[in-house]
Amino acid sequence: MTDRSQLLTELRLPESMNLDAMSTEDAVAVMNAQDLVAVNAAASARADVVKAIDLVVAALSKGGRLFYFGAGTSGRLGVLDASECPPTFRSDPEMVQGVIAGGNDAMFRAKEGAEDSPEGGSKDVDDRNIGPNDVAIGIASGGTTPYVHGALRRAAERGAKTVFILCVQPFPGEPKTDVTIRLLTGPEALTGSTRLKAGTATKLVLNQITTIAFVKLGKCYENLMVDLRATNTKLWDRGSRIVATLTGINRDEALSLLGRAEGHVKLAVIMQKRGVDVGEAKQLIVASNGRLREAMAAEDE
């Protein structure tokens, strides 16, 4: 059995030595202070996060895919981030996928033994036919998860770009990847419980990777989610407000226009700005590779 006692995530936090005897207020204060450590750790890794985002943008631009591999909390964070991409960016669910050791059931009921199988990670890579156009991101707060190591090594063998997100110092046997994002969050308030600030720092980085990647792929204009299709009351409200903001028409007019645009915000904006029907708007969006800024700028040329 590997001795993991030297890893940062396994050490004891001096500030929480008396956690069981603290008042509720003091315990919350300790955790608040440690949450700030997570934010700073994510900021310190910025240069490597940028490299990872550039790999993802290059892959998705060529029709490739992004995969997250993890076990336990790390796996659940990957699945969560992947599952939020289609409703946020109207992306194809195949573009970003989260894979958790033990399969989908492990999202809701822990399957701790699944993380010990590098063969399981390798098989999950093979089952998804991951190849040169794809990016595989392994997530393991403690860094040593065999399942994640197996997935990263097999993905690299199949020609994919690889990224490792972990929260510990370098160690012997660490997988070699194209990018390593090292979030040095240190000991947890509850020793070894990496669902705390290690998980928080990881979530921050996953937010950055997919959000900025999809922004660069034309899924937003300014800071607005323009690649939105209204499918419920909330989205009709948000979509009409975005259309009104970008075109200068009032909300009722925007709602009507959005209806004619089949609920698509980008189409509605182009229809108003270019004075075209929905069919022509679709052609203009395709010609600009889905980028609203380019489609709008074309009218001034």
Contact status, residue 178 vs residue 204, Cβ threshold 8 Å: no
Q: Which amino acid is at 106?
A: A
Task: Determine phi and psi for 175, rounding to 5 degrees.
Answer: -60, 140
Domains along the chain with CATH numbers: 8-218 (3.40.50.10490), 233-300 (1.10.8.1080)
**What's the pLDDT score for residue 216?**
95
Contact status, residue 191 vs residue 10, Cβ threshold 8 Å: yes
**What's the pLDDT score for residue 298?**
62
Going by C-alpha positions, the residue among 159, 69, 189 that lies closest to residue 118 is 69
For residue 225, how many other CB atoms are within 10 A of its CB? Answer: 18
Q: Is 84 a catalytic residue?
A: yes
Specify the pTM.
0.91
Going by C-alpha positions, the residue among 145, 147, 152, 291 that lies closest to residue 218 is 291
**What's the pLDDT score for residue 217?**
95
Choice among 84, 174, 253, 294 that is catalytic: 84
**What's the pLDDT score for residue 296?**
82
Q: Which residue has the tokens 């959005």?
A: 258
Going by C-alpha positions, the residue among 199, 167, 165, 202 that lies closest to residue 186 is 167
Distance CA 239, CA 264 (A): 8
Task: Per residue of the chain (301 residues), give pLDDT as tens.
Answer: 567 777 889 899 999 999 999 999 999 999 999 999 999 999 999 999 999 999 999 999 999 999 999 999 999 999 999 999 998 899 999 999 999 998 888 888 877 777 889 999 999 999 999 999 999 999 999 999 999 999 999 999 999 999 999 999 999 999 999 999 999 999 999 999 999 999 999 999 999 999 999 999 999 999 999 998 888 999 999 999 999 999 999 999 999 999 999 999 999 999 999 999 999 999 999 999 889 988 887 654 4
Q: Is 115 a catalytic residue?
A: yes
Tokens of 298: 């074309």
